[in-house]
Amino acid sequence: MSEPLEVGNQTEEFSAVYARLHCDVFRYCLVLTRSVEDAEDVAGETFERALRAWSKDGAPSALPLPWLLLTARRIAIDRARRRRLLRWLPLSAAPRSTSVAFDQDRIDFWLWFDSLSTALTPRQREVLLLRYQSDLTDAEIGRILGLSEPGVRSLASRAVSSLRQHPELLR
Amino acid sequence: MTNNLATDPFESEVRAAFRRHLATLDPLIPTNFGQPEIDRPAPDRVAAAPRVRRGRSLRSGTAGLGAAAGLVLVALIASGLLLRGTRPAVASPSPLVPASGAPTGQATVLSPRVVASFGSDDLQSAVLSPDGAAYVIDSTVSTVYWLSLQTGAKLPILRAGMELAGSVVGNPRVLATGGQDVLILDDANSLWRWRPADTDKTGRGALVKLAIPDSVNWGSGVRALGTFIINAQLGMYNLYVVVPSAGQILKYPPAADGNSFPTAGRANWLAVSQDLSTIDDMYVDGHIFLVDRGKITRHSLGQADSWAPALPAGSAAEPNDPYYTHLAADDPSQDRGTFYAYDRNNKQVVAIRKADGSSIGTYGASAALNDLRAMFVVTAEDGSASLYWLNGGELLAAPIRHAGGVPTASPSPSVGSEPSVVASFGTDELSQAALGPDRASAYVIDTTVNKIYRVDLETGVKVALDVSPDNPSAPPVGRPRLLGSLNYLLIVDSNNRFWVGPTGNRDKAGSLSVSQLTFDAPPSFSWGTGVRSVCVVSGHPADDSEAGAFDYYVASPAGVEVIKYAPVTAGQTVSLHMTHGFDVNQQSAPIDDMYVYSQSVDPLRSGIFLVQGGEISLYQSGKPAPQWTFSRPISSSEQAPYYTVVAGDDLGALFAYDRANKQVAVFSGADGSYVRAALSSPALDGLSSMFVATGMDQARTLYWITGGKLMGALISGGSGGAP
């Protein structure tokens, strides 16, 4: 069992951030992982890291949401890589696929999200997701995706232009 | 600066689309996604089981229950209705020549009129939609037309090659109706849903693609589609697909939002796979009727039964044996109304009583019935019926009537509402059902696959649960045998181990993590053959501890003892301790069922209801209470009651299933007096387990399992105070 965290005065501040942002973080994790259980794990780990980091170094000077989303993205990517690696191991204990029911329960969303790929690249899709889900600035999106601000602006602009050619995707 | 102030209207539209679609994920965000543990010690295994404190009401914390129960009740009243053949209020067409009556054995000659002509001789399928219009596939131009039966006007609603939401429509092949929808299957096995606009009679509507993830596996030979309404209020229905490549009728319950048919719920409806490559038509009304190689067969619970259509008069000898290819009905209800079956050998339509298969009449129309491709029946508000059919390139219509009007043969009249199927399983081995802690779902054990299913009582959607211990060092969960439910789910497995698990979002997704309840000492009798019944009762007032929240009453394997177990705490561990036991062998018959009011303060004193040898008795303080009679008046036509199952409601009434008369009777939980019959129906035959759900408005719904189905019926009222 891990040691209790000494969070001191940060606890209350962290609680407020958690209450305000956990839906945004979870939704983003859900889109990244397409699994409720994985999203719960990734979101949980994200907030745990935030709690540890912020209790030690203080909350980030910028808004916390980009920090959280960036962390969630890194965790999700790490998990995906680990899972891919495990598949190569003989007789591995690779985690079985989960949340089939979830995927099908909300399959309309995934059908729509996948249909966007007929007009958008994955990166464009993610830029729009971050832009419109949480109203992040281009600079914040760039920080999460590892892009420059003009780069994000260019991706978003091209994505919107592409969607103009496919208005049916916005139904 | 944020990006939410986009001035470009199109960008605002993109933003709105993203937000709208992302919002559909919100129900998946765990509501109990609470504050992470910071410095709280990890709960021990037993304490992690969900517990409530003494005195908590069963209904507390279930604010939405009233509405949910109301929906369930309304749905149950209206459910059981089939979509296909739903009666619209359409005036019957004026016949060019009135149909004339004819003596039995001679076909009535129909005088059809042309409703609409197509510039094609390849019309493939036609259905009547709930909005009173017909939908027709014209294969020459690969188009589905909406067609007004009043004016003959037609409009294309779907055409092969259309692009819709990134998908291209294939050639339409099969039509069906479901609720208010028209379903169109194309040759790419994409299922399209056309929903006519409300109150619109001009052919407008919305077309969407329904998601069926595994439809690509159906192959190219799907022979027929059918639907069965499970929630009339929400317009939700099960989908049945005749798939020859699988040799099965695949049954898909809808997803909760009704926009997809998840693979997870798919079931093989037929008990044994069979050759379906020659199926010509299918009709679903609770039974499934298949038209195959000229014969009509009825299937119940996945197997063909003895129902068969009688030979129409005048066709006793070859080559006049009928060869049926198409089937339509004038009443969607099970065992009611008349079938109209097209006999290709004799170029005639045969009217067959649904209930018993007897022949009512035959209809001929000379060349107008030479090449029938599809047909349906429209029943007008005045009860008159008209037959519509595709022949060549035309949709024809003619009024039909037979001696004695439209016959209806219904089951014995029920005292309560008509029973309806809440959920069907591909098995007839359901052993027990229990109302879930949320009071809006049921848990059912399927012993064929040794699985527990969670069934949403509102939608009928069922999910197989993957039950696993929350502690890796715990033994595996055995085959589920018994269920109990009170704020959490209790599972007794084949090894007589007791497991408790919280229900909620996780079990909706198909997984249930359970904690083992251990006993502080081995039971004093052999549990080798398994306990017969178990009831969970909320805690006792003297014990205000968390551990004292629940008691367990167990009917012993031999069925001659009732034992009470109560939780005791020793340090950090909680185990079950036998506190009382009494012998119930006075009836010289083992216990078939047991019921204890879950809110009873002291069931040992107030009473435990036991069913032994077909009789109900109440045990108080370990002895039968002599003043209780549990008898009911019986008419001369009835047999002596033989009770096998009991259940109570939250209002103090006791419901008992009388196997001899296929009836559920209500007794007062206060004094055992007979109140009335709650339900009398053949659908109760084979009832093996039941429970009563009480809505906030005190309306009660009886649920039971029989064969492979979870059934439900609204039962009004009850009586008695708290036991």
Who among A11, A23, A129 is closest to B38 (CB)? A11
Q: Where do the DSSP E strands lie in B160-278?
A: 163-164, 167-168, 172-178, 181-186, 191-196, 205-210, 224-231, 236-243, 248-252, 267-268
- How far A48 CA lies from chain B's nearest CA (Å)? 8
Q: Residue B28: its chain A contacts at CB < 8 A? A: 30, 36, 39, 102, 105-106
Q: Please check whether residues A41 and A113 belong to one and the same domain.
A: no
CA–CA gap between residue B176 and residue B349 (Å, rounded)? 21
Question: Among all chains, which residue has been given the structure tokens 């167990």?
Answer: B554
pLDDT over 90 at B28, yes or no:
no
Interface of B with A in 637-666 (CB under 8 A): none
Residue where one domain finishes, among candidates A80, A98, A116: A98
- How far B285 CA lies from chain A's nearest CA (Å)? 27
The DSSP element (H or E) to which B313 belongs, if any, is none
Q: Please check whether residues A77 and A8 belong to one and the same domain.
A: yes
- How far B248 CA lies from chain A's nearest CA (Å)? 22
CA–CA gap between residue A15 and residue A21 (Å, rounded)? 10
Q: How far is CA B20 from CA A125, A133, B12, B23, B24, in A?
A: 15, 10, 12, 5, 7
Q: Please check whether residues A125 and A73 belong to one and the same domain.
A: no
Q: Residue B21: its chain A contacts at CB < 8 A? A: 108-109, 112-113
Residue B30 at interface with chain A, using a CB cutoff of 8 Å: yes
Who among B11, B33, B164 is closest to A160 (CB)? B11
Residue B36 at interface with chain A, using a CB cutoff of 8 Å: yes
More confident: B511 or B696: B511
Residue where one domain finishes, among candidates A98, A116, A144: A98
Give the whole-number percent of chain A exceeding pLDDT 70.
74
User: Closest-CA residue in chain A for B27?
Assistant: A106
Average pLDDT over residues B584-604: 72
How many structural domains is chain A composed of? 2
pLDDT over 90 at A93, yes or no:
no
CA–CA gap between residue B531 and residue B581 (Å, rounded)? 14
Q: Which of A129-133, B440-444, B470-474 has the lowest mean pLDDT?
A: B470-474
Residue B211 at interface with chain A, using a CB cutoff of 8 Å: yes
| Residue B256: closest CA among B421, B28, B474 | B28
How many CA atoms within 13 Å lie on the side-chain side of B465? 30
CA–CA gap between residue A159 and residue A165 (Å, rounded)? 10
pLDDT for B554 equals 79
- B108-109 and B359-364 strand pairing: parallel
More confident: B47 or A147: A147
Note whether A101 contacts B42, CB cutoff 8 Å: no
Interface of B with A in 495-524 (CB under 8 A): 505, 508-510
Contacts of A110 (CB under 8 A, 6+ apart): A34, A103
Note whether B166 contacts A133, CB cutoff 8 Å: no
Contacts of A67 (CB under 8 A, 6+ apart): A50, A60
A50 lies in a domain?
Answer: yes
Q: Please check whether residues A7 and A59 belong to one and the same domain.
A: yes
Average pLDDT over residues B700-715: 85
Q: Residue A133: its chain B contacts at CB < 8 A? A: 18-19, 22
Q: Which of B25-34, B155-164, B406-415 has the lowest mean pLDDT?
A: B406-415
Average pLDDT over residues B590-612: 76
Residue where one domain finishes, among candidates A98, A128, A150: A98
- DSSP state at residue B211: B
Q: Please check whether residues A42 and A120 belong to one and the same domain.
A: no
Instruction: Tell me which residue range forms the domain holding A128.
Output: 106-166
* CATH number (domain holding residue A130): 1.10.10.10
pLDDT over 60 at B613, yes or no:
yes
Q: Residue A18: its chain B contacts at CB < 8 A? A: 35-36
How confident is the prediction for chain B on average, in pLDDT? 74
Q: Residue B10: its chain A contacts at CB < 8 A? A: 160, 163-164
A153 lies in a domain?
Answer: yes
Note whether B39 contacts A118, CB cutoff 8 Å: no
One-letter amino acid identity for B639?
Q
pLDDT for B622 equals 76
Count the neighbouring beta carbons within 10 Å of the beta carbon of residue A100.
15
Q: Please check whether residues A130 and A82 belong to one and the same domain.
A: no
Average pLDDT over residues B312-325: 68
More confident: B211 or B1: B211
CA–CA gap between residue A143 and residue A125 (Å, rounded)? 16
A171 lies in a domain?
Answer: no
CA–CA gap between residue B456 and residue B465 (Å, rounded)? 13
Average pLDDT over residues B475-502: 82
CA–CA gap between residue B702 and residue B681 (Å, rounded)? 13
Average pLDDT over residues B546-556: 63
CA–CA gap between residue B260 and residue B509 (Å, rounded)? 16
Q: Which of B8, B24, B29, B511 should we substitute to test contact with A (largest number of A Cβ atoms within 10 Å)?
A: B29
pLDDT over 50 at B543, yes or no:
no
What is the band of A112 on the pLDDT scale with cuts at 50, 70, 90?
confident
Note whether B262 contacts A107, CB cutoff 8 Å: yes
Q: Residue B168: its chain A contacts at CB < 8 A? A: none
- The secondary structure of B284-302 as a DSSP string is ESSSEEEEETBEEEEEETT
pLDDT over 80 at B705, yes or no:
yes
Joined together, the tokens standing for residue B400 give 């039909």
Note whether A26 contacts B29, CB cutoff 8 Å: yes
More confident: B268 or B320: B268
Q: Please check whether residues A71 and A13 belong to one and the same domain.
A: yes
pLDDT over 90 at B599, yes or no:
no
Average pLDDT over residues B644-670: 84
- How far A132 CA lies from chain B's nearest CA (Å)? 5
A48 lies in a domain?
Answer: yes
Q: Residue A68: its chain B contacts at CB < 8 A? A: none
User: Which neighbouring-strand residues pair with B338?
Assistant: B353
Angle at B373 between CA B370 and CA B378, to 5 degrees: 105
pLDDT for A100 equals 38
A112 lies in a domain?
Answer: yes
- How far B702 CA lies from chain A's nearest CA (Å)? 28
Sketch the domain layout of chain B as residue ranges.
Answer: 108-400
Measured N-to-C along each axis, helices A138-145 and A149-165 cross at an angle, to the nearest 10 degrees, of 100
Q: Residue B38: its chain A contacts at CB < 8 A? A: 4-5, 7, 11, 51
User: Which neighbouring-strand residues pair with B469?
Assistant: B514
Residue B214 at interface with chain A, using a CB cutoff of 8 Å: no
| Residue B536: closest CA among B575, B505, B568, B500 | B500
pLDDT for B174 equals 92
Q: Residue A107: its chain B contacts at CB < 8 A? A: 211, 213, 255, 259-260, 262
Note whether B463 contacts A160, CB cutoff 8 Å: no
Who among B166, B255, B508 is closest to A169 (CB)? B166
Residue B581 at interface with chain A, using a CB cutoff of 8 Å: no
Note whether A30 contacts B211, CB cutoff 8 Å: no
Highest mean pLDDT among A104-113, B366-375, B509-518: B366-375
pLDDT over 90 at B97, yes or no:
no
User: Which neighbouring-strand residues pair with B164?
Assistant: B167
Burial class from Cβ neighbours inside 10 Å (0-12, 13-18, 19+) for residue B483 reads buried
CA–CA gap between residue B251 and residue B236 (Å, rounded)? 14
What is the band of B39 on the pLDDT scale with cuts at 50, 70, 90?
very low
Average pLDDT over residues B677-694: 85
Contacts of B719 (CB under 8 A, 6+ apart): B652, B653, B666, B668, B675
pLDDT in tens, B186-235: 988 899 998 887 666 677 788 888 888 888 888 888 899 998 877 766 77
pLDDT over 60 at B98, yes or no:
no
Q: Is the pTM of this model over 0.80?
A: no
pLDDT over 90 at B241, yes or no:
yes
| Residue A128: closest CA among A171, A105, A103, A161 | A161
Q: Is B443 helix (H, G, I), strand (E, B) or coil?
A: strand
Residue B119 at interface with chain A, using a CB cutoff of 8 Å: no
ipTM of the complex: 0.83
Joined together, the tokens standing for residue B238 give 């099960």
Who among B4, B39, B262 is closest to A101 (CB)? B262
User: Closest-CA residue in chain B for A129?
Assistant: B18
Q: Which of A43-47, A98-102, B333-337, B593-597 has the lowest mean pLDDT?
A: A98-102
Question: Among all chains, which residue has been given the structure tokens 């992690």?
Answer: B48
CA–CA gap between residue A171 and residue B240 (Å, rounded)? 29
Highest mean pLDDT among B133-147, B406-420, B525-539, B688-702: B133-147
- How far A137 CA lies from chain B's nearest CA (Å)? 5
pLDDT over 70 at B67, yes or no:
no
How many CA atoms within 13 Å lie on the side-chain side of B182? 33
pLDDT in tens, B438-461: 777 899 998 888 889 988 887 778
| Residue A157: closest CA among B2, B5, B6 | B6
Note whether B18 contacts A22, CB cutoff 8 Å: no
Q: Please check whether residues A111 and A36 belong to one and the same domain.
A: no
Q: Which of A55, A111, A166 should we substitute to test contact with B (largest number of B Cβ atoms within 10 Å)?
A: A111
More confident: B500 or B192: B192
Average pLDDT over residues A15-30: 85
Contact predicate B562/B582, CB 8 Å = yes
Q: Which of B531-544 are b and which e, b meaning 16 or more Cβ less than 10 Å from the residue's Cβ?
A: bbbbbbbbbbeeee
Query: Under CATH, what is the fold of the domain B108-400?
Result: Neuraminidase (2.120.10)
Note whether A4 contacts B17, CB cutoff 8 Å: no
pLDDT for B335 equals 74
Joined together, the tokens standing for residue B501 give 């698990």
